Structure 1
């Protein structure tokens, strides 16, 4: 019995290890108090100030410090998402998707903020803004789940998340909202290397629904975006679904036969 439990846990070893680390660090921060929390968040943030001073370790350390509401709410949903992805994508692919989304979105946002500060579009104070958490990596993993969606629903899945992400980034107006959208897109791009058939069971469909709901809350965490993102998401899903069927339908059309009209042409009459 114990051996069976360990064998099942071995299939989701990244999820178990990462969630255990998040739980331990989050509990330690709560025990140390608000001052320790503020200091740790500032030191682990992947803001322009830290990156400009060579604190590149924050690119990984920031994923271990979560400043996003009650632990008992987000940790079970994050565990569900990572476990489902690890079961379907396998451990190495999950790690790749998570790191590409977390680091890639962080660097894209940092570059955009640096340009905005340089041109005077944003205040210098933005360089010290806190930016920690697992949301970039988690949303990239959700985007990477494109690889295991049924072929007929894959385009709609991508269209929904990209459109909802763009709406949230535009309406939310915060740099983290833009980072969330970038992370989803990076996950979708990474998924092109992961495609494989998957047998969906009722339990895994339920886990997917919970994971998608959690991802939506990370994308649309303001009242305005919560109202607008689903509308744009549905429109994006319908548009992507239509484009997919149009393209595949055109590709499936039989080629027109080539008619040899040589015999139908008038033949020259030999003279002489």
Structure 2
């Protein structure tokens, strides 16, 4: 059993080296915050990389990059909603789907999609938050809320992967959309901004998947015409 696990892990690392390294980094930063730092110190770190309005205004590059070094979830509370989020974002999003995209299309394309989803979904929610604050639809505390992690990027590659499936494409795509819809807060005038961000990330992922499918069709060799039967005079 141990040999099988070691062999599978070695194959995973050799076939998806960038994703294996990134997953290891995410696990390391999570363990650093949960096992090394005190609760107050960990909260300061999380707030420092949160992509809220105040941080995006003061240090946009730092928080946009730093937020991708952490996942917002748990590895121990297996009956909690946070653990389900970890399974979706870190498990399915990064360890499974991002690794598969790396193997199939290369690390450059895979991580371009991931980073684009993270950046674009984050920045596209900013005007929405400003409008919602101006109309009183969101509380003012949203300006400095704790909001960090890989979930937008994970949602993007999940949507891309769903669209690239040959079988179960549409059920998988529906599941990608259902996650933020069912898990979000729709009680106010607008859904909470993270729900909107995840839906935007999914739309970006579907667009990326459509582009990859179109490129694959163009690159496919044209069918060779088969010779017809010889004519007998």
Same fold, TM-score > 0.5, yes or no: yes
1:185 match: 203
2:43 matches 1:25? no
Distance 1:179 1:154, change over 3 A: same
Following TM superposition, by how much is the alpha carbon of 1:44 offset from its aligned partner in structure 2, in angstroms? 0.2
Q: 1:70 aligns with which of 67, 75, 81?
A: 75
Count of aligned pairs: 194
Following TM superposition, by how much is the alpha carbon of 1:32 offset from its aligned partner in structure 2, in angstroms? 1.1
2:220 match: none
1:48 match: 53
Following TM superposition, by how much is the alpha carbon of 1:133 offset from its aligned partner in structure 2, in angstroms? 1.0
1:217 match: none
Distance in structure 2 (CA, Å) of the matches to 1:116 and 1:105: 17
2:19 match: 15
Following TM superposition, by how much is the alpha carbon of 1:102 offset from its aligned partner in structure 2, in angstroms? 0.8
Following TM superposition, by how much is the alpha carbon of 1:179 offset from its aligned partner in structure 2, in angstroms? 1.4
Preserved CA contact (<8 Å) 1:15 1:82: yes
RMSD between aligned residues:
2.9
Following TM superposition, by how much is the alpha carbon of 1:177 offset from its aligned partner in structure 2, in angstroms? 1.8
Following TM superposition, by how much is the alpha carbon of 1:144 offset from its aligned partner in structure 2, in angstroms? 0.9
1:136 match: 152
1:103 match: 119
Listed as ranges, the gaps of 5+ residues in structure 1 are 198-272
Listed as ranges, the gaps of 5+ residues in structure 2 are 1-8, 218-233
Distance in structure 2 (CA, Å) of the matches to 1:125 and 1:171: 18
Residues 108-143 of structure 1, C-alpha deviations (whole Å, 9 max, x = no match): 122211221133332221100111111111110011
Preserved CA contact (<8 Å) 1:147 1:194: no
Residues 213-233 of structure 1, C-alpha deviations (whole Å, 9 max, x = no match): xxxxxxxxxxxxxxxxxxxxx
Distance 1:38 1:70, change over 3 A: same
2:131 matches 1:115? yes
Distance in structure 1 (CA, Å) of the matches to 2:141 and 2:179: 29
Distance in structure 2 (CA, Å) of the matches to 1:168 and 1:25: 25
Distance in structure 2 (CA, Å) of the matches to 1:44 and 1:94: 23
Distance in structure 2 (CA, Å) of the matches to 1:81 and 1:154: 14
1:145 match: 161
Distance in structure 2 (CA, Å) of the matches to 1:93 and 1:26: 26
Q: Secondary structure at the match of 1:120?
A: coil
